[in-house]
Amino acid sequence: MVNRPLAPHLQVWKWGPAMLVSILHRVTGDGMALIGLGVLLWWLGALAGGAETYADFQALATSPVGWIVLVGLSWAFFNHMTSGIRHFVLDLGAGYELNTNKTWSALSPVIGLLLTAGFWALILLR
């Protein structure tokens, strides 16, 4: 009785990297939709408004909070991009073997972080 296998159950599961990638994909996607698009429109609207409104935007964007938001959004973009490309591969029917799936699930957020770091290095170190 004790060692009998259990059917899949809400409380009986083990963390795996594919679950993390799935959750991050939703969080970064919906986060960019709700916050990122607001910032994008604010940026475009500030540019359309003229030099003064753009200066206001720039002052906030380069404040400590602004930096956190912009770096966070760039991370969300690159993370959503790598997990999105992973989705495309899975949509082709490839990459479902257990080890392959686990490897690319673990690599996807790491590549996202590396691309984010590379992106800011390109801006700040040029």
Partner 1 sequence: MGNGTELGRVRGLGAAHAGTHHWLLQRFTAVGNLILGLFLAFSLALLPAHDFATVSEWIAQPLPAAALAMFIVNVFWHARLGLQVLVEDYVHTPGNRFAVTALLNLWAFAGAGFGLFSILRIALSGAA
Residues near partner 1 (CB under 8 A) are 26, 29-30, 32-34, 37, 40-41, 44-45, 47-48, 50-51, 54-55, 58, 74, 77, 81, 84-85, 87-88, 91, 119, 122-123
Cβ distance to partner 1 smaller for residue 44 or 102: 44
Task: Report, in Å, the least distance between residue 73 CB and partner 1.
Answer: 10
Task: Report, in Å, the least distance between residue 4 CB and partner 1.
Answer: 33
Handedness of CA 60, 63, 67, 68 (dihedral sign): negative
Characterize 33-50 residue by residue with b for buried, 16 or more Cβ atoms within 10 angstroms of its Cβ, and e for exposed: eeebeebeeeeeebeeee
Strands (E), 5-122: none
Task: Report, in Å, the least distance between residue 18 CB and partner 1.
Answer: 18
Tokens coding 1: 């009785």
Among 94, 107, 111, 116, residue whose Cα is nearest residue 18: 107
Task: Report, in Å, the least distance between residue 76 CB and partner 1.
Answer: 11
Cβ distance to partner 1 smaller for residue 1 or 123: 123
